[in-house]
Amino acid sequence: MAGVKGQVQKRGVERRRAMVDAAIELFARQGVRGTGVAAIAERAGATPSALIHHFGSKDGLVRAVLEEADRRALARLSATPDAEPTLDQAFDWFVRDAEHTAATERELTALHTTLTAENLAPGAALHDWFRDRGRALRAHLTALFTRAAADGSARAELDPEVLAAETAAFVEGAHLLWLLDPERVDLTAVHRSYFEGLAARLRP
């Protein structure tokens, strides 16, 4: 019985993953508002009732998609050997992540950008989620720049919070330019240029 139960659970995980993948593709192409549950279920080879069974609602599916995007990014970040990376390690990760995004994650990146735009207004379904995510990213970057100033690898007079906001703004903006014109904007090259310039500016 244990073997049968395990097979059922495995099929459930695979079915859930197929639904998330279908949602990523359709949300990125049509937006969340323009994509119905039935279309996602059909794309995943499932029924609308099965999708609701797994996620509870369309909003639950949207959250699952966002969590999957962050899970993939965190999995890549976990390859960094140190829990508290140096400036060089962190900047190298951003460049490598851009390379990975350009190669395999266009749909997720487009989805993130689309959902951000759809939830700018306070009170929107995912406004708080995106706001809090942005705050968390800036907090991690602020801690990175603060450590660098403390250990002497960055100029002490620079404001870590301003640098964090600047870096986050660059990443978001670079992704948007690339999504709009991937033939003319080399996402990896732009990241490499920016972080090399930032490293030189921060150097004591």
The pLDDT of residue 92: 94
Supply the DSSP symbol for 125: T
Taking only the tens place, the pLDDT of each residue in 87-141 is 999 999 999 999 999 998 888 888 888 889 989 999 998 899 999 999 999 999 9
For residue 14, pLDDT over 60 is answered with: yes
Contact 167, 142 (CB under 8 A): no
**Full-model pTM:** 0.80
Which CATH superfamily hosts domain 1-66? Homeodomain-like (1.10.10.60)
Would you kindly state where each structural domain of the chain is located, as residue ranges? 1-66, 80-204
Cα separation, 105 vs 116, in Å, equals 17
Whether the pLDDT of residue 55 is over 90: the answer is yes
Q: What pLDDT is stored for residue 68 in this prediction?
A: 84
Q: What residues contact 51, with CB distance under 8 A and at least 6 apart?
A: 19, 37, 40, 41, 44, 61
Of residues 72 and 137, more confidence is placed in 137
Residue 159 has pLDDT above 90, yes or no: yes
Determine the CATH number of domain 80-204: 1.10.357.10
pLDDT averaged over every residue in the chain = 89
158: amino acid identity, one letter: L
Question: Highest mean pLDDT: which of 18-22, 134-138, 164-168?
Answer: 164-168
Nearest to 195 by CA among 134, 157, 145, 147: 145
In terms of Cα–Cα distance, which of 7, 16, 14, 13 is closest to 51? 16
- Decide if pLDDT at 158 tops 60: yes
